[in-house]
Amino acid sequence: MKILFIEDELKIADFVLQGFSQAGFETDHFTQGTIGLKAAFAQQYDCIVLDLMLPGLDGIDFLKQIRGAGNLTPVLILTAKGDLNDRLIGFDAGADDYLSKPFYVEELVARVKSLLSRNKLQESNLLSVGHLVLDRISRRVQWFEHSMVLSQREFSLLDYLMRTPGHIFTRKQILKHVWNIDFDPQTNVVDVCIQRIKKKLTSTSSQQAEFPIEAIRGVGYKIKTTDV
């Protein structure tokens, strides 16, 4: 399991990271909200453990931004702000759990495991954004009334984009996730794959609708969040 951990108090971060490591979690740790937000958009995490009082971007604004973008990754708030009103604000912003400081790292690990189990049970095999629906089991995509089976590469690319609708993914990020390439090989393989998906989705009467994958000139691609 991969955890995104955003905490600026290094002493707390050290013993939490040790506890996560002992529990078998792979953890990315950041001390600033803005950098953590970029990581949340750039990669897929199983859970986010988030402090509220962070430099750059506070935890509540972080939550509002990822939830507003459609990111449903479970979030546990870990903070010294433990009053009832603070907890209610956190839950209203989209938190799934709330643990006040000081705390036992064993309890934190147990709560994260509970969130992971709950999310696994609730997670659907279907991923949908507007009229675009992707079946993760069969690799079948449906757009309006038309459905088509995707190749493994096409499926991986579309699944990657649809998990965070509205977020712009660079070609380098897509190459890393879909082809496991860490550098830019100066190839148009991403664009070719997008065009294959487009051809499959626009090959019938649904072609009068605007293609749901938007190209961002000079950058990459995103899934549109409106009129899809």
- What is residue 206's predicted lDDT score, i.e. its pLDDT? 46
Q: Quick one: tokens of 224? A: 């549109």
What does DSSP say about strands 213-216 and 2-6: parallel, antiparallel, or unpaired? unpaired
Same structural domain for residues 118 and 137? no
Same structural domain for residues 132 and 106? no
Same structural domain for residues 105 and 173? no
By three-state DSSP, how is residue 19 classified? helix
Same structural domain for residues 116 and 9? yes
Same structural domain for residues 100 and 183? no
Same structural domain for residues 103 and 137? no
Domain's final residue, options 122, 157, 186? 122
Per-residue pLDDT 10s for the chain (228 aa) are: 899 999 999 999 999 999 999 999 999 999 999 999 999 988 889 999 999 999 989 999 999 998 887 787 889 999 888 788 888 888 888 888 899 888 999 999 999 998 888 766 555 678 888 888 898 888 889 887 778 888 888 999 999 999 888 899 999 899 888 887 776 667 789 999 999 999 888 865 444 567 899 999 889 999 987 644
Same structural domain for residues 91 and 179? no
Same structural domain for residues 114 and 131? no
Q: What is the pTM of this model?
A: 0.56
Are 76 and 111 within 8 A, CB to CB?
yes
Residue type, 197: I
> Tens of pLDDT along 115-155?
888 766 555 678 888 888 898 888 889 887 778 888 888 99
Output the CA angle 57-60-64, nearest 5 degrees.
95
Same structural domain for residues 216 and 153? yes
Domain's final residue, options 122, 149, 181? 122
Same structural domain for residues 8 and 114? yes
**Is 228 among the domain residues?**
no
Domain of residue 94, CATH code: 3.40.50.2300
User: What is the domain range of residue 131?
Assistant: 126-223
Same structural domain for residues 141 and 71? no
**Is 211 among the domain residues?**
yes
- What is residue 36's predicted lDDT score, i.e. its pLDDT? 94
Q: How far apart are CA 77 and CA 5, in angstroms?
A: 10
Q: How many domains does the chain have?
A: 2
**Is 50 among the domain residues?**
yes
Domain's final residue, options 65, 94, 122? 122
Q: How far apart are CA 28 and CA 176, in angstroms?
A: 17
- What is residue 228's predicted lDDT score, i.e. its pLDDT? 47
Contacts of 132 (CB under 8 A, 6+ apart): 141, 142, 143, 162, 212, 223, 228
Same structural domain for residues 106 and 146? no
